[in-house]
Structure 1
Amino acid sequence: MHVVSANAGPGKVVAPSVLESHGSVRPLAAEDLESVAALFLTKFRRRRRHLLDRAIAETADYMREIYLDPAGQSGASNALVQVNRQGRLGGFLGVLKARYELNGAALNAAIIGPLMADAGTDDGSAGPQLLRALHQGEFDLQLTDSANRTSLAFARPMKYQLLPVHCLGWTCIFRPAAMAAAALHRKWPGLPRLALDPCARAFDALAKRRFELPVQASSSQRVHSEPITSAQFAERLPTLLSDYSLRPSWKDGELPRLLALAAEKRADGPLHFGGTYDETGKMLGCYAFYGQAGDIASLLQIQASGSHWRATLDGLIAAAWDMGCVGITGQPQSRFMPQLFGYKNLFFRYAGGTMVRSRIAEVTEAVRAGDIFIGGVMGDRWTRLSSDDFGR
């Protein structure tokens, strides 16, 4: 959830449902998509005007896919727009619907994505108004794993609970100079690789001993990791979540469809899956990450059972290393933080606020106890809106 204000340029006039003193909130409709896409691109991608038209069309098509046409959804969109008193778009709140369960009881969850306000039409009320409308809706809990600092400032008074560990990001460096070059190339895609790569290779050759594979030979000689398919990952992940009281409840092929959408993300390379097995062939853990040779791998999801977190993390890092990635980044969970501390050349940073809100006391208590599965596929960082450069 990112709160921003931006001038979105010319916007379409949209008809509000019921006008209030500061405007009104209603579900996102197809006729809003181009205006919402322009607002998103102006702030989050800083797109130049001559490239904007193509980017707006691609962004609007993607927003239609995830907010208006998700498989199995009927009725109005869960995403919301705020319309000012003049009938113009004032703000947008991206919302993805999900199912959770708490000790067997079914819950409706709202996963919050981009939260935006147009500085040209908004008087400062759009963001709070959109969140209040969401809170008054059908959902038993609202959550986000990508809140920026502005979001944190006004969401906390609305009784959102912050999960500090999930707000961090971790980075394990394999080849420091090549990783710096990859980061520069992401920031400025026009930089020629020929100007960076030779220097990076020379430096990393000198630093090779310091930055060897940060994985033990094996946590157990009877445990091994190997690539798996998306279908195998989708089949196994829910069973590895059984020890969380508050966990997702995927039905009717929802998780395979979500993984197919996640695979559309382009910024970090293709999506890969792996599993950790014991000598009998039982899967002890699984992981999914984006990665390609010469670039920074990005963890989507990792989960393990019992005491097998270290072996599963070893498998993940070894897979990224063998692929030729220059490093790997991810979002931690409290359950494998102790294992992360055991790796060398691994650093932590603030990556985005993870917050949960619910009126149900039992949900609040589970969140306070850290007994919730959140982040990764139960967040919005898997969407193309989190990182992709539209229109190129």
Structure 2
Amino acid sequence: MAPAAESALKHPPELSGTPAGEGKSRPHTGTVRAMERSDLPVVADLFTRTFRKNNQKTDSQLAGYLETVFFGSPLYTPDVGSLVHLSETSAIDSAILAMPIEYSVHGRPVTARVLCAFMAEGKSGAAGAARLARMLRAARQDFCFSDNASPVSADHWVAGGGHVLPVQSLEWHRTFRPAAAALHMARRKVKLLGKLPLQGLARAVDRFVRRSRTSFAAVPHDGIRSAPVSPQQFMEQARLMMGRFSVHPVFSKAEFDWLIAAAKLNTSLGELQCCSITDAQGKIIGCYLYFGADGRNAVVMNVFCHERQEAAVVSQLFADFDNLGYASAQGMAQPFLIQAVLRQRHLVHKHTGYFCLVTRHADLKEAAIGDGFYAGGLASESWSRLLHDF
């Protein structure tokens, strides 16, 4: 998340020289330590001042949400959590909010750390942020990444031996109903428009546009079908399809259940839903998970499919959203899907943040810059309310 979005160290205690566990004595001033629950009100205020400069007061729910996201994961320990820097007066002047996600790297489990916010305040905060940034050296990292880094942050990643993934740094946006999509976007920017009864006019314009330009309608492959499934069914299908990648999220039941529960708190994007896609013989060839609100924008979190089924799955994905009446849809670009996505009409790619990673493992690095890497959606920060609320 801007202005900086990158991940932290695997072993913060080695940097501060002090045990990071909660309940232990706090380190001396001017050092880094693991974030503790008692820090949350201060960190919430720092987050608001850093990223929501127009807000005069911190949202009363923010500290509780930070606790849910950054202390609630079944993978959480102080050694893989968030970090704070203490000034000479023992005040928190900079922080990295990070959460763990388990990945499989060529069959071995690795706990990745995903940074969801990097914030600093004042001169001491700048010094603290510099110290935190120096931790992001590839030689020290098992696996750290961000999917929403700013240009300045991306430069720091590269300087520290990291990599920027160009495809994953893009979002695709597909329009089905241009008037409704424009109205939804305008209402996000101008709250007053939400009180005006403009939906009927947008529907009338879209009916005319879609009759005159039939390419706005999404066409599925012959014989391909889809149906809603439970999150548990989606998880089981996704695990099978992720086998094509040498680096991919594990989605253990405990972690996946927690991710689903945490993602559902982001009601601003609509309802979290899962679908399965089958071919003419009834064989499951793909599945996807997305947020959707009636008549608005569908936000795709994850798409999986078997090899050589990309075109059929992507076509059905967009046909589903069109049939359900969505104005538009968006999702993170993925190398294995990009050729199928590019076949769509009325689609553009936008850059909103850099996907950056650092690792000391050569095989993970090779997979990331090649075709054997899958990340994003639930296995990232894309579902977090920190990107949309507060």
Is 1:355 the counterpart of 2:356? The answer is yes
Q: 1:180 — aligned with what?
A: 182
5+ long unaligned stretches in structure 1: 6-14
1:160 is aligned with what amino acid? G
Q: Assess, with a 3 A threshold, how the Cα gap between structure 1 residues 195 and 321 changes in structure 2: closer, same or farther.
A: same
The residue identity in structure 2 corresponding to 1:278 is D
Letter matched to residue 368 of structure 2: V
Give, in angstroms, the shift of residue 348 of structure 1.
Answer: 0.9
Structure 1 residue 72, shift from structure 2 partner: 4.8
2:27 match? 17
- Alignment partners' CA distance in 1, 2:155 and 2:102: 27
SS in 1 for 2:267: coil
Partner amino acid, structure 2, of 1:371: G
Q: Given the superposition, is the C-alpha separation of residues 177 and 271 from structure 1 closer, same or farther in structure 2, using an over 3 Å criterion?
A: same
Separation (CA, whole Å) in 1 of partners of 2:139 and 2:73:
19
Alignment partner, residue 26 of structure 1: 33
Equivalent in the alignment of 2:12: none
1:249/1:139 CA distance change after superposition, 3 Å? farther
Match of 2:21? none
SS of match in other structure, 1:338 = helix
Partner residue, 2:3: 3
Change (3 A) 1:278 1:123: closer
Residue 197 of structure 1 aligns with which residue? Answer: 199
Question: Residues 82 and 190 (structure 1 numbering): CA distance in 2 closer, same or farther, change over 3 Å?
Answer: farther
Secondary structure, counterpart of 2:98 in structure 1? strand
Q: What SS class does the counterpart of residue 307 from structure 1 fall into?
A: coil
Aligned residue for 1:36? 43
**Distance across 1 between alignment mates of 2:251 and 2:201:** 48
- The 1:157/1:101 distance shift into structure 2, 3 A limit, reads same
Measured at CA, do residues 109 and 3 of structure 1 come closer, stay the same or move farther in structure 2, by a change above 3 Å?
Answer: same
Q: Bigger CA drift: 294-303 or 128-137?
A: 128-137
1:159-308 matches, cutoff 5 A: 159-194=161-196, 196-209=198-211, 210=213, 212-216=215-219, 218-221=220-223, 223-308=224-309
Letter of the structure 2 residue corresponding to residue 333 of structure 1: Q
- Residue identity in the other structure for 2:252: K
8 Å contact kept, 1:177–1:200:
yes
Q: Secondary structure at the match of 1:267?
A: helix
CA separation of 1:72 and 1:156: change in aligned 2, threshold 3 A: closer
Contact kept in structure 2, 1:3 and 1:117, CA below 8 Å: no
1:219 shift after superposition: 2.1
**CA contact 1:272–1:291 (8 Å) conserved in 2:** yes
Instruction: Name the CA distance, whole Å, in 1 between partners of 2:111 and 2:175.
Output: 39
Distance 1:138 1:159, change over 3 A: closer
Is the 1:211–1:345 contact (alpha carbons within 8 Å) kept by the matching residues of 2? no
SS in 2 for 1:124: helix
The one of 57, 70, 82 aligned to 2:85: 82
Deviation at 1:220, TM superposition (A): 3.4
Shift of 1:282: 2.8
Q: Is the 8 A contact 1:25 1:80 kept in 2?
A: yes
Q: Cα distance, 1:144 vs. partner?
A: 1.0
Aligned Cα RMSD in Å?
2.4
| Structure 2 residue matching 1:242: 3-state secondary structure | helix
Please tell me the residue identity of whatever aligns with 1:308: Q
Number of residue pairs the alignment of both structures matches: 370
> How big is each residue's C-alpha offset from its partner over 1:320-373, in whole Å with a ceiling of 9 and x where there is no partner?
223221100111101111111111100111121111111112222221223211
Cα distance, 1:126 vs structure 2: 2.8
**Is 1:173–1:211's contact at 8 Å kept on the other side of the alignment?**
no
SS of 2:27's equivalent in the other structure is coil
Q: Cα gap change, 1:135/1:249 in structure 2, threshold over 3 Å: closer, same or farther?
A: farther
- Shift of residue 198 of structure 1? 4.3
Report the CA distance shift for 1:318/1:108 in structure 2 as closer, same or farther (over 3 A).
same
The CA distance in 1 between the partners of 2:246 and 2:194, in whole Å, is 50
Identity %: 25
Q: What TM-score, normalized to structure 2?
A: 0.87
Equivalent-residue separation in structure 2 for 1:123 and 1:73 (angstroms): 26
1:165 to partner: Cα distance: 0.5
CA distance in 2, matches of 1:252, 1:178: 38
1:252 Cα deviation after fit: 4.5
Distance 1:214 1:45, change over 3 A: farther
Aligned 8 A contact 2:276 2:288 in 1:
yes
Give the Cα separation in 2 of the matches to 1:137 and 1:16: 28
What runs of 5+ residues in structure 2 fail to find an aligned partner? 6-24
TM-fit CA distance, 1:100: 1.8
Alpha-carbon distance in 1 for matches of 2:75, 2:66? 16
Aligned counterpart in structure 1 of residue 129 of structure 2, from 127, 130, 151:
127
SS in 2 for 1:313: helix
Indicate which of 115, 119, 132 corresponds to 1:116: 119
Q: Give the superposition deviation at 1:70.
A: 2.0
1:78-133 deviation digits (Å, cap 9, x = unpaired): 11111122211111111111222222222221112111111x35352333322434
Q: How far did 1:230 drift?
A: 1.0
Deviation of residue 195 (structure 1)? Answer: 5.1
Q: Contact (CA 8 Å) 1:166, 1:331: kept in 2 or not?
A: yes
CA distance in structure 2 between the partners assigned to 1:320 and 1:148 by the alignment: 30
Tell me the amino acid that sits aligned with residue 18 of structure 1.
Answer: H
- SS of 1:208's equivalent in the other structure is helix
